Amino acid sequence: MSALEKRAASARVQAAWAALARVQDPEIPVISLCDLGVVRDVREAGGVLEIVLTPTYSGCPATEVIAQDARTAVEAAGLGPAATVLQRAPAWTTDWISPAGRAALRAYGIAPPGPVPPEQAQPICVTRRRQPPVPCPRCASRRTERIAPFGSTPCKALYRCLDCREPFEHFKPI
Ligand SMILES: [Zn+2]
């Protein structure tokens, strides 16, 4: 590949990232696929733009919609044929949600995930540490309680604020 071709390829990849940054998650339409950390890589492979995606959790029913939306966004931006590649390892973690993504979740009324607890990262550890409180996304009170382990999707839990009395969803750290 000549230097000129290399520069054109990298401009195309950059434009693809910009197009993908405008694609919202189908389940949480306030956060982009890039801020969610689902888009892992964009690369040129034989004239096709390959978008590497890691689904938020295995069996997520939105995965096919996300892949279709990503291809459509890149092709609609005039960047030529696009393909998606699913990369399941390493597994997606809520630690990949960007600071902008966390702010968008909070503004939408979903308590963003905290850092992944160390006991999940170290399966040998047997003592269970108390989960830190999940602050209310509306009034920031830390006096909240979990109502249900699952919210509108399996990746969220349902909470209630004891101060403003509002129920809210918490994106569970995984
Ligand atoms: Zn509250």
Say if CB 47 and CB 81 are below 8 A apart.
Answer: yes
Distance CA(150)–CA(115), nearest Å, equals 19
- In this prediction, residue 129 has a pLDDT band, given cuts at 50, 70 and 90, of low
Provide the pLDDT for residue 50: 96
Residue 4 is encoded by which pair of tokens? 């000129």
pLDDT at 52: 97
Spacing, Cα 144 to ligand 1 middle (Å): 8
b/e per residue 59-85 (b: at least 16 CB within 10 A): ebebbeebbebbbebbeebebeebebe
pLDDT at 56: 84
pLDDT at 119: 60
Dmax over CA atoms of the chain, in Å, equals 63
- Ligand 1 centroid–CA 139 distance in Å is 4
- How would residue 127 be classed by pLDDT, with cut points 50, 70 and 90? very low
Mean per-residue pLDDT of the chain: 88
Residue 130 has pLDDT above 70, yes or no: no
Q: Which residues pair with 167 in a beta bridge?
A: 160
Q: From ligand 1's centre to the CA of 142, what distance in Å? A: 8
In angstroms, the Cα distances linking 38 to 2, 66, 144, 158, 171 are: 31, 9, 29, 23, 15
- Asked if 146 and 162 touch (Cβ cutoff 8 Å), the reply is no
Give the residues across from 43 on adjacent strands: 50
Class of the CATH domain delimited by 3-92: alpha beta
Tell me the whole-structure pTM to 2 decimals: 0.77
By C-alpha distance, which of 23, 30, 101 is closest to 67? Answer: 23
pLDDT in tens, 144-174: 999 998 887 778 899 999 999 999 999 988 8
pLDDT in tens, 101-125: 999 999 999 999 988 876 655 544 4
Domain with CATH 3.30.300.130 in the chain: 3-92
Mean pLDDT for 87-104 is 93
**151 CA → ligand 1 middle, Å:** 17
Q: How far is the CA of 36 from the centre of ligand 1 (A)?
A: 25
112-130 in b/e burial notation, b at 16+ Cβ within 10 A? bbbeeeeeeeeeeeeeeee
Q: 18-22, 34-38, 46-50, 127-131: which range is least confident on average?
A: 127-131
Q: Ligand 1 centroid to 135 CA: how many Å?
A: 8
Distance 3 CA to ligand 1 centre (A): 56
pLDDT in tens, 33-50: 999 999 999 999 988 999
* Cα 159 to ligand 1 centroid, rounded to whole Å: 10
